[in-house]
Amino acid sequence: MAQTSGLALERLLEDKDSARSIMIIDSVQQSGNPLLLNFAGRAAQDQPLVVLCTETSPKSILKSISNHQNANITFYDAYSNPNGWNSTFPTDQLLEGKHKCHTVSQLSDLKPLVKALAEQTQAHKRCTVIIDSLAPLLFAAYEQCYQLVRSLASLATDDRRVIVMHHADISYARAAARHAPSLMESLQRLFSVAIQVEAPPQTDTSNMEHLTGFKAVDQFSYMNTNSNNTTAVAKIMWKRKSGKVLHETNAFRCDGQGISVMTAAAQETEEDLDEDLQESAGPDPTANLSFNLTLTDEQRRAKEKVVLPYLKAQNRGTVEIESSEPTTTPAPPSSGSIYYEPDAADDFDDEDPDEDLDI
Amino acid sequence: MGYDKLDAALAWQRNLPPTGSNIVIADTLKSNGNFLLHHFIVNHLRANQPVIVIGLSQIFNHYFLIGRKLGINLQTLKQNQQFVFIDGLTHLTSYTQKAPFPSVTTPTTPNAVLNGTNVQEFYNAIRERVEASAKQSPNPLVIIDDANVLLWAGFSHNDVLSLLHNIRVLIESVKGNCTRCTVKSM
């Protein structure tokens, strides 16, 4: 649809502007899986894919890509046998007779994996690399995972995209992690686009009834299912090559087949509330006094007519000074500049500051 | 039929969770979620599908007594291989080295005992049972009750996560369902 081609998320999904490396940040509340699969599906239509599966099986990724017979996808399967416990699992297989699937059976040893991924990526002039989720890699080898991500992000060029998904709400309780810089920030620095997927702001249960068709009966009205909604909000931070950083919030809805991107509902209502609060925040100081501090209309008009005495100096002689009617409240000067013209008695002697004293 | 209102609320076909589903029950010490496990066990057995319970927090007798109240006899079902109980409580760590093993060939004998210091051995024992059960009838239900016991027993986070992940992959390969119970910290 022509009118949505301007939205950042739509441009990223369609690979219109070259965004080299994309990180999708999600949480348990709202999964980024549909978005990731949509990226994969759209990319598979016209370019080869290299997928490192850690949390979803290669088969389910293949199922979600429509028309996968014509696609060129290479899988690195770190999902089915990451610790090598299942000795009967085949090392290499062909999925659906066409797509190569290499099994990673020792996830904690990331060096060969990095090497294989880098080789595979460089073999194609134009491709998309997708890492399903960083969490198992971080659990397996915390220090090495950063190297993996960094080497992949450095491989990304205008024609080779790297898309990675990261779960924001897992804490890695490692001794090293406590003293290292924040993981989220370190990872975000490597990527040019960061998409944070969040649940839409909650309105009321009538929304739930509309989406799920389930009307909360009195007994279960304390339960609200507000995770993994079909509609979600994506906050995008896009660091462009020119140096400009673009922040945009889009909403998207996953409906089985694809994703439709919409503009997010404006956050105006929140800002209006804040202003209202500030206005009514403090008690009115001009009330409850024995004298009158308010202005009548005539007095207000007269006050506005007053020319301030030092206006000439402030505006460098553009306004005539005239005497004014007495005003009820003096107007404070907006800025202060000091003009100092030393006369004869002023003597700049740094050594003796008291020389001009006559005692 | 486990609990009628819960059946009505979940509204699953034949009261069974969809194939390949992975359910996590997270409860707290104040609100215990154990009743859900019995609900699932009863529903699954009534539909003639095998159930494998990896009992890390209770012995077989516990499930048997509650099952009896809900109307099923787990001892006969165990003899028919419809219900498999893997005992993960009596010999989980090295503390229980001197403890006697459950006596063999009684009605309450578990099908396997998890014994060892290595999660990989646990996985092998579980895998044997799950594959044997899946050969007999399709769509087994595997219940892990509960995952916290492994953490409390001293296994590292990585080990526990690896075990749970590998069990999940195993169950996907036999097209079963998996239900796990974890306890949220208070």
Residue A115 included in any domain: yes
A86–B127 C-beta distance less than 8 A: yes
For residue A219, the chain B residues in CB contact (below 8 A) are 5
Give the Cα separation of A355 and B2 in Å (integer). 103
Q: Which residue has the tokens 């001197």?
A: B98
Give the Cα separation of A165 and A169 in Å (integer). 12
The pLDDT mean for chain A works out to 76
Domain shared by A133 and A237, yes or no: yes
Q: How confident is the model at residue B62 (pLDDT cuts 50, 70, 90)?
A: very high
Residue A209 included in any domain: no
Instruction: Tell whether the model's pLDDT for residue A198 goes beyond 90.
Output: no
Domain shared by A148 and A261, yes or no: yes
Domain shared by A251 and A322, yes or no: no
Q: Which of A200-204, A321-325, B85-89 is the least confident region?
A: A321-325
Encode pLDDT of A329-358 as tens digits: 444 445 677 887 777 777 666 666 676 777
DSSP code of residue A227: S
Residue A281 included in any domain: no
Domain shared by A112 and A256, yes or no: yes
A173–B166 C-beta distance less than 8 A: no
Domain shared by A253 and A318, yes or no: no
Q: How confident is the model at residue A208 (pLDDT cuts 50, 70, 90)?
A: low
Size of interface A-B (CB pairs under 8 A): 29
Domain shared by A252 and A192, yes or no: yes
B172–A57 C-beta distance less than 8 A: yes
Q: Which of A81, A85, A220 sits opposite B9 (nearest CB)?
A: A220
For residue B161, the chain A residues in CB contact (below 8 A) are 139
Q: What is the CATH number of the domain that holds A112?
A: 3.40.50.300
Strands of the A92-95 sheet, one edge to the other = A92-95, A99-103, A73-77, A49-53, A127-131, A160-167, A21-26, A193-198, A231-239, A245-255, A258-263
Full residue range of the structural domain in which residue A318 is found: 298-335
How many Å lie between the alpha carbon of A80 and the closest alpha carbon of chain B?
6
Residue A282 included in any domain: no
State the complex-level ipTM. 0.79
Interface test with A, best of B121, B161, B162, B173 (most A CBs within 10 A): B162
Give the Cα separation of B73 and B160 in Å (integer). 32
Encode pLDDT of B109-157 as tens digits: 777 777 767 888 889 888 988 888 888 888 889 999 888 888 888 888 8
Domain shared by A135 and A254, yes or no: yes
> Which pLDDT score, from 0 to 100, does residue A211 have?
72
- Which of residues 5 through 44 in chain B touch A, CB cutoff 8 A? 5, 9
How many Å lie between the alpha carbon of B54 and the closest alpha carbon of chain A?
19
Q: How confident is the model at residue A258 (pLDDT cuts 50, 70, 90)?
A: low
Q: How confident is the model at residue A271 (pLDDT cuts 50, 70, 90)?
A: very low
**Number of domains within chain A:** 2
> Which pLDDT score, from 0 to 100, does residue A350 have?
63
Do residues A157 and A20 lie in contact, with contact meaning Cβ atoms separated by under 8 Å? Answer: yes
Instruction: Tell whether the model's pLDDT for residue A268 goes beyond 50.
Output: no
> Which pLDDT score, from 0 to 100, does residue A329 have?
41
Instruction: Tell whether the model's pLDDT for residue B104 goes beyond 80.
Output: no
A86–B120 C-beta distance less than 8 A: no
Which domains, and CATH codes, for chain B? 21-183 (3.40.50.300)
> Which pLDDT score, from 0 to 100, does residue A220 have?
53
Residue A126 included in any domain: yes
Instruction: Tell whether the model's pLDDT for residue A243 goes beyond 60.
Output: yes
Residue with the bigger pLDDT between A24 and A143: it is: A24
Residue with the bigger pLDDT between B154 and A178: it is: B154
Q: Which of A329, A289, A325 is nearest to A307 (CA)?
A: A325
Residue A74 included in any domain: yes
Encode pLDDT of A54-85 as tens digits: 988 888 888 888 777 788 889 998 888 888 88
Burial class (CB in 10 A: 0-12, 13-18, 19+), A176: exposed
Do residues A133 and A55 lie in contact, with contact meaning Cβ atoms separated by under 8 Å? Answer: yes
What's the pTM?
0.72
Q: Identify which of A5-19, A229-243, B63-77 has the greatest average pLDDT.
A: B63-77
Closest residue of B to A139, CA-based? B158
Residue A286 included in any domain: no
How many other β-carbons are positioned within 10 Å of the β-carbon of residue A2?
5
Strands of the B177-183 sheet, one edge to the other = B22-27, B177-183, B141-145, B51-55, B83-87, B112-113
> Which pLDDT score, from 0 to 100, does residue A4 have?
42
Q: Which residue has the tokens 């093993």?
A: B101
Q: How confident is the model at residue A172 (pLDDT cuts 50, 70, 90)?
A: confident
B161–A139 C-beta distance less than 8 A: yes
Q: Please say whether the dihedral angle defined by the alpha carbons of residues B141, A32, B162 and B153, taken in this order, is positive or negative.
A: negative
Per cent of chain A over pLDDT 90 is: 7
How many Å lie between the alpha carbon of B5 and the closest alpha carbon of chain A?
10
DSSP code of residue B39: H
Encode pLDDT of A94-141 as tens digits: 877 778 888 887 777 888 888 888 888 888 888 899 998 988 888 888
Instruction: Tell whether the model's pLDDT for residue A215 goes beyond 80.
Output: no
Interface test with A, best of B126, B165, B166, B175 (most A CBs within 10 A): B165
> Which pLDDT score, from 0 to 100, does residue A163 have?
92
Cβ of A30 under 8 Å from any chain B Cβ?
no
